[in-house]
Amino acid sequence: MLSPLKLSRLKLSHLKGPWQSPPPEPQAANLPSGSRSLRILAKQSSPPVALTPGADELNSLQNIKTHLDLILLALEALTGIGSEAVLQTATQLGLADLVPDRVSLWRLRQSNPLRRGSGGRKRLDVEEARSLVLISCVLAQQYQQKIRQAIELLEQLSASQRPPHQHPLLGDYLDKFTNIYQERMVEDTSPGVLSDLALKLLVDLLFYSSASGSRRLWLALLTCGHPPGH
């Protein structure tokens, strides 16, 4: 059980990265369960920060295309799913016309400006983005139990002041996330920073695995694409 007191310490405020922003105030009814502890955790999640005018896309995690790709990357690292699972989910959702095969999926994910060789495809239209949102959230729902287990372990290790990698599940997740990121992205990012990002995304996945997960993710992306005052 995730205790409110212990979860209050698991704010992940130590995760210092350019993808963070002031936390929103999500509605508790949208959580995966009605537990008070998960309501507390919900207030600690944050969508990615929007790009500021003139910011360099190639050096930022703060954009819609990057966040969508990183959510799928986190799911890959935690659950071991591959492109086949993504394509199967697309078919089940009636999205096979937008994501028909591996090449199409690869092109969509290559819209992430941080990816190696992403220069050939910079655009991602609204329907493609919506498709990736739905697919990501359905996959998160399918693996919600494992996501919850990982969050509970993270809370326990945090309470005992032990590093996450000391547990096999979290250690494997962090190692896989770091390896996949370094293999696919152009950025030379330190393992420590990538571990922080992986844990932040793990918390995000918990929210996206809820019944209203697709709405949560879409709103986060809208926040990402439309900075306040612009």
pLDDT of residue 168: 95
pTM: 0.74
Segment 28-83, tens digit of pLDDT:
334 434 333 333 344 434 443 332 333 443 333 347 888 999 999 999 999 999 99
The ranges of the chain with pLDDT < 50 are 1-62, 120, 226-230
> Any residues with CB less than 8 A from the CB of 99 and at least 6 apart, and which?
86, 87, 90, 105, 108, 131, 135
pLDDT, the chain, mean: 76
Where exactly are the structural domains of the chain?
Answer: 57-222
Q: How far apart are the C-alpha atoms of 145 and 114, rounded to whole Å?
A: 30
